[in-house]
Structure 1
């Protein structure tokens, strides 16, 4: 009260100004929440299409993520080993892979991704213009 008198402000004007600021803050929170929900929807759509959609067929070639800790792994060395041949899925969701020696081992779904070298080379070969002599 003494601050309003000292600053020469009217009580009604100050109260209306405070209510207006609170309403603006509520609107700002609402817009921030709406924009975050839009962002979450977009990211979920991208993850559903590109990340979580892993469908493997028998005899597909896959890469296996090597998560063993190494002291000096190398700057440009890939952590993906393979290619391995996809054999099947266990009842609990683990994947069975077969290596070059026909040994079958089980891995977690998250540690496997498609090996797309054949398709990539086929696309490059089809798109590459033929040289004329």
Structure 2
């Protein structure tokens, strides 16, 4: 009789562990879905139009990259936009045309002006607490 009770208890324990595992699996799936939805919501979609100026990300591997050198080159002009995310761009310097992935591009904004403003500086400033 005790062997039957021990066997039934063991079966119940195994079923309980399987239920706990299934609950953990479901909560993990819910967490992954929420994380993916949040990540996709935060991604900004890039859309390019023909004639737009863009910068290209220079992704060449260097052992000792220049600290102050920019990884963006350009500007380039968008010649054609494909449905699958590829973009055909043309160089302004030498006129070469080539295709790149749209994720390697960002819009080029021009027209920012740097204004040199002179400030009146006191020779002997007095500090008050």
Asked whether the two chains share a fold, i.e. TM above 0.5, the reply is yes
After superposition, give the CA deviation of every residue in 1:40-61 in whole Å (9 maximum; x if it has no partner). Answer: 2123323433337332334555
Moved more, 55-64 or 19-28: 55-64
TM normalised by structure 1 equals 0.56
Find the aligned partners of 2:17 and 2:104 in 1 and give their Cα distance. Answer: 45
- Which of 103, 107, 110 lines up with 1:110 in the alignment? 103
Aligned to 1:26: 18
Find the aligned partners of 1:25 and 1:92 in 2 and give their Cα distance. Answer: 47
Unmatched runs of 5 consecutive residues or more in structure 1: 1-9, 122-133
CA-CA distance at 1:89 after TM superposition: 0.7
CA-CA distance at 1:75 after TM superposition: 5.4
Alignment of structure 1 residues 1-133 onto 2, 5 Å: 10-51=2-43, 53-74=45-66, 79-90=71-82, 93-101=85-93, 103=95, 104-112=97-105, 114-115=106-107
TM normalised by structure 2 equals 0.58
Higher helix share goes to which structure?
1
Q: Helix, strand or coil for the counterpart of 1:54?
A: coil
Unmatched runs of 5 consecutive residues or more in structure 2: 113-129
